[in-house]
Structure 1
Amino acid sequence: MSDLHDLCRFSTRPIDESYITQLHHYLKSGIPATYTVEEAANYINGIEETPSTTTTPLHLICMNVPLGCTDEELEIVEKMIEILLEYGAGWCFTDVNNETPGCILIRRGLKHVGKLYSQIVDAGVRAELLLRKVSDYDVEFIDPEDVEAQQNETVESEVVVESKDSEIDDAPDAPSQNQQSYLNTKLEYVDDALVTKDRKDGVMMAWESDLMKLGCDSLFKGAILDGDTKEMDSEIVVLNIGFGMGIIDTMIQHQHPTKHYICEAHPDVLKKLKDDGWYEKPNVVILEGRWQDNLDELLSQGVFFNGIYYDTFSEHYQDMLELFDFVVGLLKPHGVFSFFNGLGADREVIYEVYKQLVEIDLKTYGLDVKFTEVEVPESTLKSNDKSVWDDVKRSYWSCPVYYHPEARFIDI
């Protein structure tokens, strides 16, 4: 371990300005802020191969910041994190335990101590926004399972929109990665889930029902013309993109909207819609195919919605940004847009980063999003002995809370 790594272990107390002075000295002398413990060990032992894990100085600070440090010491630690990030420390590199610096802070109960955790999240947001600039708006997004490949580069990433199947399969033609591959993959309804038949990837599961209820309620808030008088729209028209198990659509029907549009692309799900009689419901319009191929026609027809909900599989956040273009054209002035918010939900710190990115991105479209924090069932957490993932190949959720989004046009 190098002197830089020793410094970040806080072997002497108090943690005072001398730590800042030494940190500046090491970084200005040319030691990278991303220099890892593993690289140092290989150098000492004459090993030339590239290490597979990346325990950086930022990891060490998060591992070793004293639980009982004083306010003055905490300020020094926060300044050290700030300096490391300024010198290019990787906010989402993973160490030998597959933990990012933010993950370590959460595990140690330091999420709400000072600015430590928020510094990591803010760095993630800045990195993503900067990457869009340097990529000339060719948007790339966070892949929490592949961050170790980023040891000496700016974050490059891609996350499945729902984070359903967000444990990324390396194969570019995997159903979770490629929409056409997903549409060509056989699905089956088993017990309380919709899964890919051969791989057992979770497409949708019954544990989401409470979250779908939140989504349904949000859509019908968009039918209220006046918040004070509670005057309702004479016609209530809603759109759900992605039928899945039909959980939210069944809830929508119980509210008796004037018109209920359902956009669904997968042939097996369309068969389910037909078998269950959705095509015969007088207030239901089925849009067969991808939303990318259907929403233009709705715009040309002058169809406007009180509520739009989005919940698809095998689409990415870049697709979602493209959807925003349609949302602002299809939503009534008092309407509400919501979606299944599983962006990066297999890692809590990345989930927090995407929460902020969504706020920023929707604001550029003139939409203000509010999040309601909801506890998810304990059975959805991977560490639980009895888990909803027991018969499913991939888990797409590991966060203790769900941030339910509700977006409206900004009241100017």
Structure 2
Amino acid sequence: MSDLHDLCKFPTRPIDKTYIDQLKHYLSNGIPATYTVEEAYNYTHNIEDEEPSSTTTPLHLLCTFVPVDAKDEEKEIVSEMVEILFEYGAGWCFVDVNGDTPGCILIKRGLKDWKVYDQIVDAGVRAELLLRKVSEFDMEIIEDTDDLNHEEFENIPELVKEEPKEEVQQTKEEVDDAPDAPSQNQQSYLNTKLEYTDDALITKDRKDGVMMSWETDIMKLGSETLFAKGSLIEDNEEDSEINVLNIGFGMGIIDGMIQQKSPTTHYICEAHPDVLKKMKQDGWYDKPNVVVLEGRWQDRLDELLSNGKVFFNGIYYDTFSEHYSDMLELFDYVVGLLKSHGVFSFFNGLGADRQVIYEVYKKLVEIDLGNYGLNCQFEAIDIPKEMLQDNQDRSVWDNVKRSYWSCPVYYHPEIKFIDY
């Protein structure tokens, strides 16, 4: 292990400006901010052909060893160290030997309210925005530690000391999200058989959770948002025609709630054949105010835009096997189909398997919608303990292979046109 790693363990107190000077010394002399404990271990033990399965970076060590009793002056030094690490290319979402990102470590240590945590979230937002810009061009991204010459580090004065031998336990986390998995690939999902149980909609073979009854309270929030805000024009005057669009029927939870409000027209866009079959069996096609749009919203919403006759007081979005890139495309349709006083909302599960990623997406959504002239406000709702995938007691995920939630809070989005 190099002195850079040792420095980030805060071996002496107080944490003062000497830490800043040493950190700059190591980084400016060639040690990458992404240099991992695993790479150092492999080099020390002459392991050349084995690729590390985890990436414990200096930022991980800093978040692990920063003293919880640090004084305000020490916290400022630590925050400056984090900024320097990011300036030199530190990664905000690398996963260490325990499967944690630096942000995850701070959460587990009860340090989420520290400035360092906000710095990590902001770094995640910057990284996502930069990645989008880079992806517009044909560019090759080279990792800082590719073809790393570790011996060069030994030439830096007073840099590398002899470390005692210590075992680095490397574990490989099972990946259940192959590119062709139903949870990742829309066409694969549409070709996958689904199964309705008493309290969930799951993929029949893999037992992926597509939708579950625990989402009922969230769906109620969505329904109330669409009608309480989207049905009112200026001065609390109610619109004479209330049109609502729900994208993704699933178990029909929010659609049942929408029907109770008796909208003028209730559009439902659904693509999966098994769900459409269930809708026919349950009589949704026979409801006088319901219009079922069979197929992908990417195909069917073009027709509504071209028609130019239907505009919505409320639009709700909740699909499976789609990603944030799909939502960015959806925003183009929302601004074309939403009434000036209308409301857009969605099931906000973006990155909800990790709290720090969930909060990165929260900021990204606000930025992206702002570029469309839309204002997004979030209401924070506590999630019951039994809904969390890492709950050790009985949970709603007991019979589901792929859980999709581990955050203790739900950020309910309410999105309207900015009132200039």
Structure 1 length as normaliser, TM-score? 0.91
2:201 maps to which of 184, 194, 197? 194
Determine which structure has greater relative contact order: mean sequence separation of CA pairs < 8 Å that are 6+ residues apart, divided by chain length: 1
Other-structure match for 2:183: 176
Deviations 1:18-51 (A, max 9, x none): 0000000000110000111111122222221332
Contact conserved, 2:59 with 2:85, CA < 8 A, in 1?
yes
Deviations 1:358-404 (A, max 9, x none): 11111111100000000112111123210100000111000000000
Contact conserved, 1:20 with 1:80, CA < 8 A, in 2?
yes
Other-structure match for 2:116: 116
Structure with max Cα Rg: 2
Contact conserved, 1:93 with 1:151, CA < 8 A, in 2?
no
Deviations 1:73-121 (A, max 9, x none): 11000000000011000100010000000000000000002x1100000
Structure 1 residues not aligned, in runs of 5+: 139-148, 154-166
Other-structure match for 2:17: 17
**Inter-partner Cα distance in structure 1 for 2:413 and 2:80:** 33
Other-structure match for 1:156: none
**Inter-partner Cα distance in structure 1 for 2:304 and 2:91:** 44
Other-structure match for 2:331: 324
Deviations 1:274-331 (A, max 9, x none): 1111111111111111111111111122210000000001111111111110000000
Counterpart residue identity of residue 212, structure 2: M
Other-structure match for 2:170: none
1:168 CA drift (Å): 6.3
Contact conserved, 1:93 with 1:150, CA < 8 A, in 2?
no
**Inter-partner Cα distance in structure 2 for 1:263 and 1:52:** 42
1:8-407 equivalences under 5 Å are 8-48=8-48, 49-113=50-114, 115-136=115-136, 152=145, 169-220=176-227, 221-226=229-234, 229-302=235-308, 303-384=310-391, 385-407=393-415
The share of aligned pairs that are identical, in percent, is 76
1:152 CA drift (Å): 5.0
Sort the Cα spacing of 1:330 and 1:381 in 2 relative to 1 into closer, same or farther, 3 A. Answer: same
- For 1:294, what is the secondary structure of its paired residue? helix
**Inter-partner Cα distance in structure 2 for 1:170 and 1:235:** 43
Contact conserved, 2:389 with 2:406, CA < 8 A, in 1?
yes
Counterpart residue identity of residue 196, structure 1: T
Contact conserved, 1:90 with 1:151, CA < 8 A, in 2?
no
Contact conserved, 1:8 with 1:64, CA < 8 A, in 2?
yes
**Inter-partner Cα distance in structure 2 for 1:152 and 1:260:** 54
- State how many pairs are aligned: 386
Contact conserved, 1:260 with 1:283, CA < 8 A, in 2?
yes
Contact conserved, 1:304 with 1:330, CA < 8 A, in 2?
yes
1:137 CA drift (Å): 7.3
1:170 CA drift (Å): 4.4
**Inter-partner Cα distance in structure 1 for 2:86 and 2:379:** 30
**Inter-partner Cα distance in structure 2 for 1:310 and 1:190:** 22
- For 1:224, what is the secondary structure of its paired residue? coil
Q: Cα RMSD over matched residues?
A: 1.5
**Inter-partner Cα distance in structure 2 for 1:257 and 1:401:** 31
**Inter-partner Cα distance in structure 1 for 2:296 and 2:186:** 10
Deviates more, 1:296-305 or 1:88-97: 296-305
**Inter-partner Cα distance in structure 1 for 2:324 and 2:145:** 24
**Inter-partner Cα distance in structure 2 for 1:39 and 1:267:** 49
- For 1:370, what is the secondary structure of its paired residue? strand
**Inter-partner Cα distance in structure 2 for 1:75 and 1:186:** 54
Counterpart residue identity of residue 106, structure 1: I
1:5 aligns with 2:5: yes
1:173 CA drift (Å): 2.0
Contact conserved, 2:270 with 2:293, CA < 8 A, in 1?
yes
